[in-house]
Structures are given as structure tokens and as C-alpha cells.
Amino acid sequence: MQLLFLLEQVVNGLVLGGYYLLIALGLSLIFSVGGVVNLAHGAFYALGAYVSLEIARRLGFGAGVALSPVVVALLGIAFERFILRRFYTADPILSLLVTFGLALVAEQAIRIAWGAAPLPASMPQAFKGAVVLGDFLFSKYRLFLLAVVATVLAGIWLLLNKTAFGRVVRAGIQRPDMVAALGIRLQPYMTTIVMLGVGMAALGGALFAPIVIVHPAMGAEILTVAFVVVVIGGLGSFWGVVLAALLVGVVRGITTHFVPAASEASMYLLMFLVLMFRPRGLLGERIEKFE
Amino acid sequence: MTTRRELLKAGTAGALALGFPAIVKAQSAAIKIGHLTPMTGFLGALGVYAVKGIQIAAEEINAAGGVMGRKLDVMSEDSVNPATASTKAQRMFEQDKVDVLMGEINSASAKTIMQVADRNKRLFMQIGARSDVLRGKDCNRYTFHVDIPVTVMVNAAGQALAREGYIKGKKIYFLTSDYLFGHDLAKAAKAFCAANGGTVVGDELTATDTTDFSPFLLKIRQAKPDLVATNLGGNQVTNFVKQYAEFGLPFQVAGFNLNTADAWAAGDGNLAGIWPTVWHHELDTPGSKAFVAKFRKIHGQPPENHAWIEYVSLKVMAQAMNETKSVDTEKLIKYFESGAQFDLLKKRNGYFRSWDHQMIQEAYPFSVKPKGQAKDKWDFLKFGAAVPAPDQPLESINPPKSANACVL
Amino acid sequence: MNRARTLVIGAGVLVALPFVLHAMGLAVNTATQIVTLAIAALGLNMLVGFTGLTSFGHSTWFGIGAYAAAISQKHWFPGQIALPLAFSVAFVALLSLTVGALVLRRRGVYFALLTLALSALTYTVAFRWTELTGGEDGLGGLSRGGIPAVPLDDSRVYYAFVALVAFGVLFALVRVLRSPFGHVLVAIRENQQRATFQGYAVDRYRLAVFVLSAVVTGLGGVLQGFLNYLVSAESVSVPFSGELLAMVVIGGMHHVLGPALGVLFYVSFRELFSIWTGNWLLWFGLVFVGFVLFSPAGLAGIWAKIRRRLRPPPPESAAMSRRKVYEGLPLPAFLRPAQQAGTVLELRSVQKHFGGIRAVAEASLTVRAGEIHALIGPNGAGKTTLFNLASGLYPPDAGAVALHGLEIHGLPAHRICREGLARSFQITNLFKGLTIYENLRLSVQAKHAARFNAWRDIDSYADIHAETQELARFLGLEGIEEIQGGELSYGGQRLLDLGIALGSKPGVLLLDEPLAGLAAAERERVSALVKSVGAALPVLIVEHDIDRVLGLSQTVTVMNQGEVLMSGTPEAVRADRRVQEVYTGTGTPPVTHRSAQAAGAPLLGFERVNTFYGKSHILCDASLDVREGEIVALLGRNGAGKSTLLKTLAGLVPASSGTIEFEGRGIAGLAAHEIARRGIGYVPQGRGLFAGMTVADNLALGRLARATDGRHGVAWSEQRIFEYFPRLKERMHVAADYLSGGEQQMAAVARALSGNVKLLLLDEPFEGLAPAIVQELFAVFDALRGQTSIVIVEHNLDLVLALADRVFALERGAVFHQGPAAPLLKDLDYRKKILWL
């Protein structure tokens, strides 16, 4: 019984990991193209939530979830064009600082636009409640969320690995010079990747709005976890991020079971340990720029 | 109230600290009132209501000729965090020469300001922080507390729960934020349950930065309690009720801390259960109705309880100054300690207890209106009967002297 | 940095601050707050600005310092301030020593991330451990203590107290920065690797400054705690870390007082701007972003810019004109090692593999006292790897390195340097942001007993000063000592690199291509220098200028493909047939040139092109032309600029001047992808295939953006590819990195030819390939000449001369010979005359 219950927590942790994945993967994507550690990623998540509520008020929940990422991704284009692009070749510490500043600006902008008070948000009635599969309890909404995450994950994987677009991006990460020497202009691809990463963050925000509090600092909350996941997985590694997200989810699930008060600290401890013993994360590769 | 005290996540690259003096034009001979409240950070949302409330009171008083013929000049500033709050409090006494200090929501900031008041031997009316220790172990003779302490909140919701039969002989599952305020709440709540015949079947601590409650929801499902009682702080309450609704667990929920703003933020159909409050905009008294109407007219929405408490606090202060014809700290303390009655826009008047400087007043439980009965998005709370009951002394829901470490 | 002026400014600001703030309507306590934050920011900047380690979690120390003082006052020293302060300093020092030893194992972004995690962890603990820290209420009720006569509770008295401490801190930090220790910190920031090879135990310096920085920041925390009579968890939070860092950046991190200026700016911005708008934080964020974007040097940097504008420094040429060069100076006495005899440096059968590639195999070499020992060999022979093994950049897989009989392999680089082995670097490796004098002094100081001294002013060491001056004089850099290393001409930088190696007073000196990229006069001077150095201590020198290096060395070792081919006198080497073959080939091509066509119309005109990498001038007025249907070979020694010429052509490296015309249209300045679309295909050295992608994917990328109709030049379809390279057919779905070298080369060529190509650039296409494959490729290139022109860089002369119609020979970025390939192919003596020996 006890064991079964522990298993249930592990499974729940995996679901939770899927939920971090959406944000962490976008962070990792942006990182892998330009080598920028984007501390403003949480801001796009928050924007995604706010914009989705704004749309949902007029067009309903579904439209909010579907359109908000598109709107925010457009902002992502400007973000790449005017800010990130300057930092692809700069000291990564500078991009860390500039995105830190942007996160601050974005949070304040949200506060001005929508007020400091949290906004109410809820899911359609049909999603409420839980289902019991085997002996395990799952919230319906989270299963839906998991399906969306899995779809996005598969989509991104296919895009990166099975399309010409993905080939250019992967080639561009390795040898931007050779890509250019084959007549390919890399810039639009980079912009698109940043747009995708930002859009995923916004999708995360839109999807999580019904289950977590929607307030201006929500971006900072999720960023920490996403960040920890990406670092544990290895900066820029697709499967590393997947692995780390699930790992963090499970570790949090298990600590919540045994030492609930330490569930947050466990994550940082995990990151600290991983960095001490596998300095580039679980599946990260050596990237000279970050040493 | 530490309650919403922002569990600023470690690692959140959140708000930089800041100051924010809402500059009110200085008037010669005006009575200067220093007002410190968080306006940024997580408590910022509540602080914004606080400023709106106190401003309405100041305008009313000044429109009616001020106090002793002098205008009230309320300097509202962002207290940011305990360190800044303390610096600003000292500056207000020293440089701005304020006559009294008022405000606060964050109990840690309130604590430092209390110390500043003590060192300067000047008056501080601590309005919104609810931690028991402020009016217990840490109390001092220069500070008066307006909002209800933790014990009163527990009693308010607890008595309603007991009435509905959720305590006696029932299995109760506690979920508590793992920090000072949560522990305070849990202590009082468990004492209440023990006294009323409930059994504790689960007692979990959650890290203050927990945003995902699903592991706890699984545990609760395993425990199959009759009542899930939460002692959560700040936005944790909102996260919890949203996710509780998401999982749709069948057990009755209650909590011993919830601000109206947090309830509003829960979203349509998410909130359930029984909760305490110090005031609600549906309170049926002429004073409350007038205040609510005025607030709605100005801000287009009903006031939150922090707007109300700041509003009445300034009125209380003005009354004391008018009665004593003075802004002198010693005279004001003497007046407050005298048991003078104050109109708090509730059915019964309030008064400060002389030995711990706590405002004694009614509190209320509330539950949630059935679906479809809400008139607008602020209107889904069902307001319960005042606690204590009309035949009981007001003081009965407050911790007695024997249970309070306060020595002034 | 002028010490007295910094201190006077600091003291002046500390005295004036409360009055200025008062005039602005702010209280004394605000001034105190500014000063406590400034102390913390100064501490942080020791790490960020002066050592180049960005800590994103310094609030950890600010908060822990404050908690330590508060807790100790509460439990052990009630009512006191001095003892809690001392306790806190000791506690933070100990803790940061432990933590630093762990986190400093990482650098760069990973270090920043670790400190960030540390801060997040500390915050969680501080916020939760209520019994110890008071949890979210904080630890209140502190007492400032003091003596009755001076009550620290009075805010003015407390300000004075804090200001005194701040001045003390400033004084101490300035002293530290002016000390030998402080100079090493800056060296670590500028170039950690070089500092290691100067003999500095870099890890110890980093740990020491980490502790110092933590303690000073912690001190700021303590003083702020007593200011507020409270310590709360906010003071350890990550946002506060970010704030501290923001203040440092805004103020300017390369100036001692910069961070303090940043704090002042931040607090007054907060206090004043908030009068006008409630959204001051938004504006602050924008200002911060603006600083990072446009002035990473902060306010101090802006000030420096303005000052330069008002009082411009003398132009560089004027500064350079002060340079005094003395010919024929002997090596200064202090650099002469004690009498040495017999074997000084011995490498015994050392081996090194990188992945699957064997870089050095069983190489042995002996350097004896009194000799200049040359190490020569073609590109990729393993010479630099051998240097790296000897100097400790990485340990050998097998074999031994002995210095004076002491086995040094496996020792860290700084230890090897201290044992008496110093080296220079092939790619100039110096402290670009430091002056010539400082560059040299750092080396001289590295062996001085005071290298760890953190208190005495560096200028007070007369012996170090005298030696540095003498070294500068010997190098011919006297008179320009105050010029920054990065401002020097390339030749000057090479000289300085040599000087840095020499300054560590080695018993044996390793020089890696000291002459590379130098103009004739400079080569003469550096050769002379090497000679006079060699008269006093043994020198091992890698150099491609073979004439010259054979002229000045007593012993020569020749390497080829990771192995030592032979060792002997220069005469023996010159006479050795194997050595000649390695360099000039045998004169008997393995394959024969099949068809020569009549020269076609001009296709490419490359005229008087100049290209720079930073300061190094790689192409100097290089000119070249290619006609339709012809194969042109680019010849020249290593480092002559051949690959750079191809990259310049392909648009991968910008040409700074000159014209490049392709089919009558200028292409200089076009982006690489546009040049590619016009019909220039490029196969880089090492093939440049995309790892992890199949051959098919690689080829598809070749077709993606270029026209493939073949109307303009050649465009290979898949079918054509299989025709030429049948073995690629079955390898289409294999990842490119799993192919053999030959298949990789085929895939790279096929990829380049997958879109319309009129000119194909090949960089070392035959490198490392088996003869059969070479033959196959050769045939393909030969057949291609009908459809596309080729420019080929190849060091195998027999091959390339057989293939090419015309050759261009490059030396130091300029073409010194051009003409038909045939005579060079057949007449070996002519070839030697033109190309080598």
C-alpha cells in the first residue's frame, strides 16, 4: 500500500515534470541557438497567461489558449530582432544581465497594464475533476495538459529532426559558417526558433492560468524551476531537458512524500549536486563560450 | 498579515525593492501622518487597496474641516521590505516630523516599525498585520493593532465549522504553510479542534514557495478526511483552491486565512468551503453601505477588506485626536487605553484592549454562494453571521490574558 | 589607479553624503543605507569587476553575514557590536572558504548558475528555519551597542561609525588592488590561462578573493542589520543578488569606486524618481537594460569616455615614437639561470590521443644545456601538442616528461612553470587590457616571494620594478611601457608574448612560432633576441620559417604525423631525404595530370585584398586571378594566409580593403550566403560536415538555398553524386560523423557541388586520406575542370602540382610567386628554389 502510494507520487511527479517541460524546453531552445541564458523567459510565460485571459474574456477559453501564444510569439520576434541578436557573440554574462533587466521591465509593465492584484482564471467546467486510472488519481485537466505537452514535444522534435527547417537549425548551431557557405541565410531560422521558444512559454502560461495564481510575478516563479531543469539537463540539450524535467518532477514528488517541507530545497540541492559532479548537466555538451 | 506576506520565492527574479512616496502636498499646520504599506511585491495588490481606503478617509475628514481645524496630511509610501520599512519609519519621525505612523500588512515589516516606534517613543497604529506575536511576545506600549489576530480568525471560521458539524468527532486533515504565520495559524487551529472534539488525521507542512499542490491532494485522498483545514499564506491559498477544484476532491474544505482579494483571484467556480474574514462589503450596516457605495463610485468595484480597515483606522485616529485635542503620543495612548468605543462600520463598536493594545471587534465566517447567485464577479461570497454571537462578549474570541505573553 | 585620489574622493563623498541627501529631503539613515550597500557592492566587485567571476548570488554573503552577527549578539554577546561583527567576519570567512572551494571549480556561466542556486537555497533555508533566523518575521530586536558617550542609537553617530568602517574597507581594498595579489586578480580576469602559465596558482588566488569578497559583502550586511535592528530573509534572496549586481554594473565594474557610484545612483533614483511616477521600477529596469546594451562599463565608463573626449590621449603613433630599441643587448643577468649542464628537458615516448585521433605518438626529444633546439615539421605533425604536453596544458596519455631529471608530467601548469619551464603561445596570448609594463611585471613578480602579498603596494618593490624595466629594455619595448598590450601592433604583441614567457625566469624556454606573422625587420629582431636568449638558457622553438630556424639552432628535431622523424644537426636535417620528402614531396606524383585545357575567360579577380584577425594582418595586398575551367593551387607555408584567402573569398572573413570580382561583379562585402548563391562553393579544411546528420541531410542542406538547375556552373544531382562517388550511395543514411575520412571528404565535396557552382574552393582536401581515396578524389577534381573552376589549398606538393594549371605561392599574406604548375612539378630543384630550402 505504502509502496503503491509512493508509486502514485512518482507518477504524479512525472506529470508534474511534463508541466515544467513546456517552459524549460523553450528556454533550452533559445539557449541552443544563440547561447543566451534568457532570464526574461518567465516574463513571456506571464504574458501568455495574461493575454490568454484577455482573449478568453471575449472569445472563450479555447481561443485564449490557442491565440495567446501567437500574439506573444510576435513579441518574441521583436525580442530577438532588437535585443537577443546583439548578444549571440557577446560574453554570456551580459545576456544574463540584460534579460534580468528585461524580466524586471516586463513584470512592471504587466503590473501597470493589468494591476497588481491577481486576476481570476478558471478552466471550463468540463475539465474539472479527476479520473482514477488503475489505482492512480489524475486530474482531467492535467491529462489534457500532458497531451498538449506531448504533442508540442513531438512537434518540436519532428521539426528539429525531420524537416529541412530543423536541419538548418541543427547545422547552424554547429557550424554557422558552413551553413552560410551553402547559401543559407541563418538569421530567419534563429528568429523562428526564438519565436517558438517564446510561444511555448506563452502556451505554458495560458495553460497554467486556471491552476495557478495569475499575478505579475508569476513569471519569476516558473522561471526558477525551468531554469533548474535546463541546467540539470544540460544547457541546450533536448533530451537532457526532457530527462531533467521528469527527474525534477519525481524528486519533488518523492520529497513531498517523505519531507514535504524540503520539496523546494530538494530541487536546488539536486541542481547543486549535478553541477558539482556533471558540470555541464546530465546530457550537456562542452560549449567553450560558457566555461 | 503575514498571511499574504509574500512568499517571495527564493530564486524569483522578482521585484527590486523600491520606495514610492505618494506625495501629498504639504500644508502648513497640517497634522502629518506617516503611512507605510507594501505597494510592490506580492502584498502590493493589498497595499493598493490600503492606500485607496486611507485616502477616502482623509478626504472625508478634511472635507469636514479636518481635525481640530487642521488638515490631515497622509504620506503614503511603499514599505518594500522590513529593512526599508524600518529606514523609512525612522526617516518619517526624524526628518518628515510626522505626528503618528500608521499602516503595514507585512508582519515582519510591522515588527521593525514597532521597534522604531518604541525607540522613538512615538505612536504607531499597526493596521493590517495579523501575526499573534506582534500583540503577544513582541508587543510594546507605543503600538496599537487594528486587524484581528490569528486566533480570532481561527475562532471565526472554527465556530462556523463547529456549528455545521464539521469538527466534533470528525477526521480533520491540516495543510500548513511552513513558516511563522502558518505555524501560528496551525497552533491556534489545532487547539480549537482539540477543544471541540475533532481528530487530526493528517498534518502536512508545505514549503512557502510551493505552487503545485498535487502531491498533497493525493495524500489527502488517501487519508479520506471529513474536513481539509488549510493554514496557508498569501497566494498559496489561491493556488490551493484552484487545484482543489481541478482535482474535484469530495471532502469539505475550510481555511483559517483568506483575504477577499485572494478569494476574488480564485476564479469562477473554484472557491469552496468556509473561511474567516474581518469585514466584507456585504456587511449590512449603514456605515459599511455608505463606504462601499462611495468606494464603488470612485474605483468602480467594491472595497477589499484592507481598504475598509485603513479607512476605519484613520477615522479611529482622528477621533482620538479630536477627543484629546492633541497629537501627543502619551495623550493618545492614554485615550486608546481608556476603552474608548470606535465605530468600525460593524453592528458592534470596537475598542482597544488596554493590556495588549488589540482592537476588539466582530469577525465573520463566509462560504461560497451556490452557482448562479452571484451578481458580479466580486459577489460570490456568502457572508455568515458575526462571531462572537450577539449574546457573547466580543472579547471571547480573542486569546485571554493567560494565553498571551504580552507585557507592555 | 591613483590610490590617494581614490581615498580622498571616497572620504569626501562619505563626509558630504548626509548633507547632500538632507538637501534632497532624505534622512541620515538613507545615507547609512547607501554606505552599507556600497560596502557590499565594493565587495562583490572584487569578484565581478577585478577577477572576472560573476556571482549571481552574493546576497548569500550579505545575508549570512548579517544573520551571523545577529545570532551571535542574541546568544553570546548581548548588547555588543564589535564582537558580533568580528564573529560574523570569521564565520563568513570560514563558510565562504568551504563553499568557494566547491563552486570555484566551475567558471563562466556555470559559476554564475551555481552561485544563483546557492542563493536560492540559502533563502529557502533562512525563510524556513524559524528557530534560528526568525523565519519570515526576521531576526529583530538587535542592539547597536556602543559606549555611553557615543550612543550608536543616534542615527548620526551610527552613520559616522558606518562611514568609518566604509573608509577602512575602501582603504583596505585599494591596498589589496595595488598589491602584487591584486594585480594577479586582474591578470586572472584578463587571461586566466596565461596567468597559470606564468606560474600563478590561480585557484588559490580565486579562492582568496572569493573569501575576501564574501567577507566584505557580509560586513555590509552586518552594518545594514544593525541599521535596521533587524535581519530578514530578503537580504539573502536572489532578487537582492540581482540588485547588487545591477548596482555594480550601472556604476562601472572596472573602477574601484564604480559600484559605490552605482549604489548612490540606484538609491537616489529610487527616492527621487518615485516622486514623479509610481512606476519608477519600470524606468529603472529600462535604464539598467540601457546600460547593459550601450555602456557595459557603467557610469564610470561614461565618465572615462567624456574625459577622453575632453582631453584626448596622444595618438598611438606619437606614443609609439617614444619606443627605444637597443640592438644586441645581452640577456639581463637576473634572467640567466644557474649553470646548467647535460640534459635539461627530456620527453620520453610521450603519447596523446584526442578522441580517435592520434596527435602525438611515442615522441621523444631531449633538450640539452646551451642549445637552441628547433622542432619542425609540416602542419599537423604534432609540434604544438608536444609543447602543450611538456608545459602541462594537458597530461600525456603515456610517457614521461622530465625537467632537470624531475618528472613533471601530470603536474599542473603553474607548478611546471615554477619548476623552470616557461612557454610562449602560437596564438598571441597576453593580458590585452593591461599595459606592457604590467604584462611583464606580472611575470617577474610570479617568482617573487611577495607574489601572495595583499597589502604592500606593488610599486614599493624596487627589485621587481628594476627587473621589469630591464626586461622591457631587453625586448626593445622601453619607452612605451604604458601602452596596453591589446593596442600594440601584431609584431609588438608577439614580442610581448615572448617577454611574458621570459619574465618567469625559466631554466628552459619553449617558443611556439615566435616569428609567425612578423614582417621582415621584426623577424630579424626577434631572431636576434632568441639568439641572445639561447646563449644563456636552452630554448626549444617551433617555427615554420625553416631557413631562419635552421640558421639559429644547434639541434633540430623533425616531426611528421605525430612521430619524431629524426633529430640531428641542421646540416644533417637539410641533407635528409625523408625530411625533404615531408616538405617538398618526391617529385614523382602518385597520379598524373590528365588534361590541360586552353585557358578560359577570367572568372575571379582578387586584387590587393587585406584581411585582419583583430590586430593580426593576415592578407597583405594579396592578389590572385582564376579563369574559367582552370585549377589554381595556393601554396605556402603554414600560416601564410592560404585558408584565410579562401575564407575571404567565401565571405566568411571580411576583407578590410581590396576588390573581389566574380564574373565581373564585385562580391567583396557581400554576406557569405549571397556569395554562395552566386556560385562559389566551399569545402573547408576538416570538411565541415554537420555531425549527427546523415549524408542525405547534409546534401539536402547543400541544395536548400541555392539554385540547382546547373544553368550556372555545375550542380550535381543525387544521381551525379553516385556516379562520381558510388560508395556514398550505401552511406546516404549514415550519420556523417561515422563515415571514414575519405567518405567524409566525398560527402563534403558532393555537398558543396549540390547547388550551382562555378568556382569551387578546396582547403586541404587530401589531408589524412589513404592513397586510393586520394586517387579517386584526384580523378574527380581533374574531371571537374570542364564545368567549374577550382582553387585548391594543399600541402602535398606532388599531388597539387599535378592537378593544378597554375600556382600562386603565398608568404606572410602576400603572393610572392605565380606561374604555371608544370615546371614546379617536374623540376625538383626549381621547386626547392622557389618553395623551400
The amino acid at A220: A
How near does any CA of chain B get to the CA of C56, in Å?
11
C-contacting chains (≥3 CB pairs under 8 Å): A, B
Which residue in chain C has the smallest CA separation from B18?
Answer: C270
For B239, phi and psi rounded to 5 degrees? -60, -45
Helix axes A92-114 and C108-128, enclosed angle (nearest 10): 50
* Residues of chain C above pLDDT 70, percent: 96
Cβ distance B241 to B270 under 8 Å?
Answer: yes
Say if C123 is an interface residue toward chain A (CB within 8 Å).
Answer: no
Question: Is it true that C342-420+506-584 and C602-835 share their CATH fold?
Answer: yes
Tell me which H or E stretch contains C703: helix C695-704
Question: pLDDT tens digits for C758-781?
Answer: 999 999 888 777 777 888 888 889
Inter-residue contact B1 to B130 (CB < 8 Å): yes
Would the pLDDT of C592 be above 80? no
| C-alpha–C-alpha distance, residues A115 and A118, integer Å | 8
What is the CATH code for A2-290? 1.10.3470
Mutate to test the interface with C, among B8, B96, B131, B183 (most CBs of C within 10 A): B8
Instruction: Give the tens place of pLDDT for each residue, A219-257.
Output: 888 888 888 898 899 877 889 999 999 999 889 888 877
Chain A with chain B: Cβ pairs closer than 8 A: 162
Q: Is some CB atom of chain B closer than 8 A to the CB atom of A223?
A: yes
- pLDDT at residue B18 in the model: 33
Would you state the cell numbers that stand for residue C707, as one nine-digit string?
539554385
Residues C597-608: tens digit of each pLDDT: 556 788 999 999
- What is the DSSP code string of C148-173? TTEETTSHHHHHHHHHHHHHHHHHHH
d(CA C137, CA A90) in angstroms, rounded, equals 42
At A201, list the grid cell.
Answer: 512559454
pLDDT digits (tens, 9 = 90+) for C569-580: 999 988 888 888
Query: Residue C353 pairs with which residues in a beta bridge?
Result: C358
Q: Are C467 and C444 in contact (CB under 8 A)?
A: yes
Q: Supply C58's cell numbers.
A: 552574493
Q: What is the rounded distance in angstroms from the CA atom of residue C100 to the CA atom of residue C209?
A: 10
For residue C632, which of C770, C768, C502, C781 has the smallest C-alpha distance?
C781
Q: What is the DSSP letter of C136?
A: G
Quote the DSSP letter at residue B401: G
The residues in B 246-275 lying below 8 A from A, measured between CB atoms, are 246-249, 261-262, 264-270
Nearest-10 Cα torsion for C518, C520, C523, C524: -160
- Give the chain A residue whose CA is nearest to the CA of B304: A117
Residues of B in contact with A220 (CB under 8 A): 9, 11-14
**Could you tell me if C634 and C792 are in contact, meaning their C-beta atoms sit under 8 angstroms apart?**
yes
Q: Do B112 and C140 touch (CB under 8 A)?
A: yes
CA distance C292 to C310: 24
Domain B151-277+364-403: assigned CATH number: 3.40.50.2300
To the nearest 10°, the Cα dihedral for C403, C407, C410, C415? -50
A contact residues 85-144, partner C, Cβ 8 Å cutoff:
86, 92-94, 96-98, 100-102, 104-105, 108-109, 111-112
- Domain topology for B2-148+284-360: Rossmann fold (3.40.50)
Distance from CA of B368 to the nearest CA of A (A): 15
Question: What distance in Å separates the CA atoms of residue C782 and residue A228, rounded to the nearest whole number?
Answer: 56
pLDDT of residue C146: 73
Q: Closest Cα partner for B59 from B326, B340, B318, B346?
A: B318
Q: At what angle do helices A263-277 and A238-258 cross, to 10 degrees?
A: 140
Give the three-class secondary structure for B36.
strand
- Non-local (6+) Cβ contacts of B374 within 8 A are B380
Split at pLDDT 50, 70, 90, the class of C588 is: low
| Nearest C-alpha neighbor of B186 from the set B171, B165, B172, B166 | B172
Question: Does ipTM top 0.90?
Answer: no
Check: CB of residue B361 under 8 Å from CB of residue B350.
yes
Residue spans of the domains in chain C: they are 3-240, 342-420+506-584, 432-504, 602-835
Domain B2-148+284-360 and domain B151-277+364-403 have a common topology:
yes
CB within 8 Å of chain B, chain A residues 239-268: 252-253, 256-257, 260-265, 268
Listed as ranges, residues in chain B with pLDDT below 70 are 1-28
Q: How much is the pLDDT for C687? A: 86
Distance from B85 to chain C by nearest Cα, in Å?
A: 9
d(CA B136, CA B408): 10
Best CA proximity match to C648, nearest among C604, C599, C686: C604
Provide CB contacts within 8 A for B361, sequence distance 6+: B148, B278, B344, B346, B348, B350, B394
Whole-number pLDDT of residue C276: 63
CA dihedral C800, C803, C806, C810 (to 10 degrees): -10
Buried b (16+ CB within 10 A) or exposed e, B275-312: bbbbbbbbbeeeebeebbeebeeeeebbbbbbbbbbbb
B11 reaches C (C-beta below 8 A): yes
Residue A163 contacts C, CB cutoff 8 Å:
no
Give the separation between CA A4 and CA C430, rounded to whole angstroms: 62
Burial class of residue C371 in the structure, from the number of CB atoms within 10 Å of its CB (0-12 exposed, 13-18 middle, 19+ buried): middle
C342-420+506-584 falls under which CATH superfamily? P-loop containing nucleotide triphosphate hydrolases (3.40.50.300)
CATH class held by domain C602-835: alpha beta
Question: What residue spans define the domains of chain A?
Answer: 2-290
Return the closest-CA partner of residue B239 out of C66, C825, C799, A212: A212
- Which range, of A60-64, A137-141, C438-442, C708-712, averages the lowest pLDDT? C708-712
Mean pLDDT within C214-236: 92
Query: Best of A93, A266, A270, A282 to disrupt the C interface by mutation (most C CBs within 10 Å)?
Result: A93
Using only the alpha carbons of chain B, give its radius of gyration: 20
Structure confidence at residue B27 (pLDDT): 40
pLDDT in tens, C64-79: 999 999 999 999 999 8
From the list A76, A71, A79, the residue with the least C-alpha distance to A95 is: A79
- Listed residue (C645, C684, C616, C625) closest to C814, CA to CA: C645
> What pLDDT does residue A290 have?
61
Q: What span, in angstroms and rounded, lies between the C-alpha atoms of B105 and B262?
A: 14
In this prediction, residue C590 carries a pLDDT of: 61
To the nearest whole Å, the CA of A101 is away from the closest chain B CA by 10
DSSP C46-98: HHHTSS----S-THHHHHHHHHHHHHHHHHT-TT-SHHHHHHHHHHHHHHHHH
Residue spans of chain A under pLDDT 50: none
